[in-house]
Structure 1
Amino acid sequence: IIEPPTQMDTKQSVKNTLSDFSLEAHDLYLNESVPYLDTPPDPLQFYRDWIGPNKPCIIRNAFSHWPALSRWTPDYLREKVGSKVISVAVTPNGYADAVAGDRFVMPEERRMTFSSMLDIIEGKVQASGVFYVQKQSSNLLEELPELTEDVERHIPWMSTALGKLPDAVNFWLGESNAVTSMHKDHYENLYCVVSGQKDFLLLPPTDRPFIPYGLYQPAVYHQRDDGEFEVVDENDSEKVPWIPLDPLDPDLERFPQYRQARPICCSVKAGEMLFLPSLWFHHVRQSHGCIAVNFWYDMEYDIKYNYFQLLEALSGVSTLV
């Protein structure tokens, strides 16, 4: 008599299959490091070599013609947009949009002039908290249109490759202890470092089975009049799925499956562009005062997305007790 498989047998079978799935992806097509391209690519070639296979690369000399590379000094930015009021994310510890205890905590969104932000970056003003210009709603075009003449509103060869314009063009400026917690986006992302350096930790979508998720009550940091930060729940909001693991210091006792993940680390320096494919998990740090511009092109919701949704569902099954 053949005994039917138990729930535990099924769970283990799914876990084994997902582990083999990830290993095969690494063996077949994923690189062990992020490759470099020395020149801007031909649109069709870029689609065939990088967008289609969903592989990251760093492109040199892709925006060397931007005036921003030489113009965007603190003095120039003060003169050009110093009086503009912009949205700045403020947190007590540099972690915006991240899990803190049993909450998913978002930053306090503070309105302040660009000059006030530069005062903090340059150390002219001491402020409690960590400040980061990171508003991801095309803030370059919406809040700082005066700077668009120093860059491009889209990347022509990428727009040709995808047959569309970007959904958003974002401006980033922050302190060195401002960290972007690990997450994924449904965009094809071209990330251009204008000054300083960004450090990325990347994980491919096929490593999803090893990346833990939880559901968290959303909340927002609020700085009180005495300078201390409190966490204020957003009671009317649904719980947020997010990754509780810090990939720089993973708690492997709590998340033993992460041992099987194979992260790739890369540094993107001034004048370099990272192609970060859709659905890749990423964690980001930066040098102090780093300035970057990124272009989000919406991904195609094709069979690749369909497969990832299946992988998400199976990853959830594999962690059931």
Structure 2
Amino acid sequence: MATVAAPQVSSYAHLTSIDKRSNISQRELIAEYIEPGIPVVLTDVAQKWGAMGKFTPEFFRSKYGHLTKEIKGKTYTVAEVLDRIMVSSPENPAPYPCNLNIEKYFPELLEELKPEVVFGKSDRVKHPLLPKLMLRGTEVYELFLGGNGASFPYLHVDALFLHTQITQLYGAKDFILYSPDQTPYMYPKQENRKVSQVDILNPDYEKFPLFRKAKPIRVTVEEGETILFPTKWWHTTQIHEPSVSVGRVHLNNWNWADFTQDNYDLRKKNHPAVALATLAYGKMLGRLMDVQEKLSTPAL
């Protein structure tokens, strides 16, 4: 069975803002945002999470403050990072990004992040036949801690062409996004085509003149809100207050082909046999998932 094609780039031309929706059904989510490849902010899906009101800076300082994280070549405890975050400023920002793999650092907290959003007709990341090898280089669940004045260090498309979900559990965060059809203006790095060379907060238009044509969409994701954006959307973030957020990657039939191809591309130089086997397995598994999703009746 053929995989559903990615949305046409012309479908983004009308977008000037990101919708904020509440009480949206799974059917509406798929038809209005996931299938067309359009970001959306869901205002209420995390309201039933145990994490809401619990995942505060003080919670992580008191319970996990002893854990360590290396940020830009320096090792900090979580308590040290949080102390910096609470007094962070644009002139003296706390170290960022402080991103922690939830499954590695505190797997017991995963129960606090339910019910989960399903970005498609099934949750392919959780499929029992998906090998961990194919998710190497990314993390399914991440905790992000940041403070006023921090920003993600580069404009990028997420690893393995995965879809992205970010929920603000404490504080707000600004997201700056560029639609996939603006890739010609992004000046991707030769060694990593998912990372832009442009510092969008201080762009060098002499070096990157086409970036003048780029049209960003900015949205503030408030505490308790969740942003979903599909693969190939360029994005970065800015923070203006203490922030705790949780990220989650997603796979469905719309990004499966890109995900499988990227797995191949990442291995073909150093491990060609493994790359070919991964590509073949990914195509076979994708066809199986397509059939399973067609035969199943998702809760819409």
What TM-score range do you get, normalising by the shorter chain? 0.5 to 0.7
Q: What one-letter code is carried by the residue in structure 2 that aligns with 1:134?
A: C
Whole-angstrom distance in 1 between the partners of 2:155 and 2:258:
25
- Determine which of 54, 64, 75 is the counterpart of 1:71: 54
Q: CA, structure 1 residues 74+160, in 2 after alignment: closer, same or farther (shift >3 Å)?
A: same
Where in structure 1 are there 5+ consecutive unaligned residues?
1-20, 90-106, 216-238, 307-321
- Determine which of 77, 100, 107 is the counterpart of 1:145: 107
Where in structure 2 are there 5+ consecutive unaligned residues?
1-7, 128-134, 262-300
Q: CA, structure 1 residues 149+261, in 2 after alignment: closer, same or farther (shift >3 Å)?
A: same
Matching residue of 2:73: 108
Whole-angstrom distance in 1 between the partners of 2:104 and 2:189:
33
Q: CA, structure 1 residues 123+201, in 2 after alignment: closer, same or farther (shift >3 Å)?
A: closer
Whole-angstrom distance in 1 between the partners of 2:177 and 2:15:
12
- Determine which of 163, 178, 185 is the counterpart of 1:188: 163
Q: CA deviation at 1:155?
A: 1.4
Matching residue of 1:219: none
Give yes or no for contact 1:165–1:297 (8 Å, CA) kept in 2: no
Which structure has the greater CA radius of gyration? 1
Q: What one-letter code is carried by the residue in structure 1 that aligns with 2:126?
A: L
Q: CA, structure 1 residues 71+31, in 2 after alignment: closer, same or farther (shift >3 Å)?
A: same
Q: CA deviation at 1:164?
A: 4.2
Q: CA, structure 1 residues 156+252, in 2 after alignment: closer, same or farther (shift >3 Å)?
A: closer
Give yes or no for contact 2:146–2:243 (8 Å, CA) kept in 1: yes
Q: What one-letter code is carried by the residue in structure 2 that aligns with 1:183?
A: H
1:61 is the counterpart of 2:44: yes
Matching residue of 1:131: 95
- Determine which of 64, 68, 92 is the counterpart of 1:86: 68
With structure 2 as the length reference, what TM-score do the two structures score? 0.68
Q: CA, structure 1 residues 80+209, in 2 after alignment: closer, same or farther (shift >3 Å)?
A: same
Q: What is the root-mean-square deviation in Å for CA atoms of aligned residues?
A: 3.0
Whole-angstrom distance in 2 between the partners of 1:205 and 1:177:
27
Q: CA, structure 1 residues 157+304, in 2 after alignment: closer, same or farther (shift >3 Å)?
A: closer
Q: CA, structure 1 residues 304+175, in 2 after alignment: closer, same or farther (shift >3 Å)?
A: closer
Whole-angstrom distance in 1 between the partners of 2:146 and 2:70:
9
Q: CA deviation at 1:131?
A: 1.6
- Relative to its length, the structure with more strand (as a share) is 1
Q: CA, structure 1 residues 246+75, in 2 after alignment: closer, same or farther (shift >3 Å)?
A: closer
Whole-angstrom distance in 2 between the partners of 1:74 and 1:305:
37
What percentage of residue pairs aligned between the two structures are identical?
A: 22
- Determine which of 257, 260, 272 is the counterpart of 1:302: 257
Give yes or no for contact 1:121–1:289 (8 Å, CA) kept in 2: yes
